[in-house]
Amino acid sequence: MLYVTWISLLLLLSNVLTASVNAHSTHALLLLPTHSHAAVSGQRCPAPDPNLNFRPVIGIVSHPGDGCSGRLSNATNASYIAASYVKFVESAGARVVPLIYNEPPEVLYKKLSLVNGVIFTGGSSKTGLYFEVVTSIFKDVLRKNDAGDRFPLLAICLGFELLTMIVSKDNNILERFSASDQASTLQFVENIDISGTVFQRFPPVLLNKLSTECIVMQNHKFGISPEKLQKTESLSSFFEILTTTADSDDKVYVSTAQAHRYPVTALQWHPERVRHKIFDLKCKCFIFNIPMQKNAFEWASSSIPHSEDAIQVTQNVANFFIREARLSTHRPPSQEVLDNLIYNYSPTYCGKAGKGFDEVYIFS
């Protein structure tokens, strides 16, 4: 008897649901997993924008040395790229071709023809073959853009200093600043328009933190003051100052600049080395940790920040740069790209000592 009652209740519920669906059939439709929403609605997923390059490739210029103070290679022709720069690019949806600065020019420029943008990394070398190669690549970046192909350049720390020297044609233009291992803010130029710049898609809360909290990592002894940049016609006509920063002696230098006519972004600060503020119970005060290298991808030191704010800064800069590279119209042969990707090399682990980079790609 109980079984019959349950059957009756189920039939009644079925009739109610059927009536409800029929009454609202013009407004609602239950689709099973096997049914196609697109077929029912007559809509399909939009085709990818043919004007965008969804397989961008970035060239990273190698820097003299082994990245580990000679612990891995003392070869005079050794150069390296920190693996964290590669991961930085990958995190935003692109791949890397290493531009080994001391390869034969015909090899180097063949590789340059395969990429949609370039990164000049941090480091210390400002002379010799390295300076000559960076200068040549920079001029090629400008030529590509002048020819109508969007070809972005991201210059970080040393990269910014090299661009200052190259654009001004003055190898002694840099000024000394006390900004080694320094946490800082970024002070935005008054009434600056950040649309189209590296800061355009930063969340407002994070922009505020950049200007009010010392979450940015500075690690340099050279730079250029806003006064000197503005008085140097070649520099002021090329760059627009976006932010400035004061060093430990309260001397102000340009910390972010954007080219007026080209997709060239120069950062004196390290987007991959962002600090964050913590409260120390011992001294009952706020202190800043001292990151050694990339906040998102380096773990060689326990002091490297991996806070949400730090990761957001890294990711926003990476997204901006790769978004620029997607505007490139250049589509190199896929097999040639595969033959030259950095995956053809193996990174070397050097973070055991707790210093320097966790991994580096060494070329010699």
For residue 147 the two structure tokens come to: 């020819």
Write down the pLDDT at residue 219: 85
Distance, CA of 243 to CA of 266 (rounded, Å): 11
Examine the pLDDT at 121 and tell me if it is beyond 50.
yes
| 88-118 residue pLDDT tens | 999 999 999 999 999 999 999 999 999 999 9
Range with lowest mean pLDDT among 237-241, 270-274, 355-359: 270-274
| 20-74 residue pLDDT tens | 555 454 455 555 555 555 555 556 788 778 788 889 999 999 999 988 878 888 8
The stretch 163-189 carries a mean pLDDT of 94
**pLDDT band at residue 8 using 50, 70 and 90 as cut-offs:** low
Write down the pLDDT at residue 362: 95
- Positions annotated as catalytic residues are 157, 270
Range with lowest mean pLDDT among 12-26, 235-249, 326-340: 12-26
Q: Which of 288, 128, 126 is nearest to 220 (CA)?
A: 126
Q: Is the dihedral of CA 121, 127, 129, 133 positive or negative?
A: positive
Looking at per-residue confidence, does 351 or 315 come out higher? Answer: 315
| 124-142 residue pLDDT tens | 999 999 999 999 999 999 9
Examine the pLDDT at 229 and tell me if it is beyond 90.
yes
For residue 157 the two structure tokens come to: 């720390």
| 259-274 residue pLDDT tens | 999 999 999 998 865 4
- The amino acid at residue 332 is P
Examine the pLDDT at 281 and tell me if it is beyond 90.
no
Write down the pLDDT at residue 148: 94
For residue 363, the cross-strand partners are 79
Write down the pLDDT at residue 309: 80
The total of other beta-carbon atoms located within 10 Å of residue 183's CB is: 19
Looking at per-residue confidence, does 156 or 219 come out higher? Answer: 156
Domain ranges of the chain: 57-363
| 291-344 residue pLDDT tens | 333 444 444 433 333 467 877 888 999 999 999 999 998 999 999 999 999 999
**pLDDT band at residue 199 using 50, 70 and 90 as cut-offs:** very high
With residue 59 as reference, give the H or E element that holds it: strand 57-61
Question: Judging by DSSP bridges, how do beta strands 252-259 and 264-267 pair with one another?
Answer: antiparallel
Write down the pLDDT at residue 40: 53
Check if the beta carbon of residue 226 is closer than 8 Å to that of residue 245: no
Write down the pLDDT at residue 13: 59
Write down the pLDDT at residue 71: 81
| 140-167 residue pLDDT tens | 999 999 999 999 999 999 999 999 999 9
Write down the pLDDT at residue 97: 98
- Name the CATH superfamily for 57-363: Class I glutamine amidotransferase (GATase) domain (3.40.50.880)
Write down the pLDDT at residue 280: 45
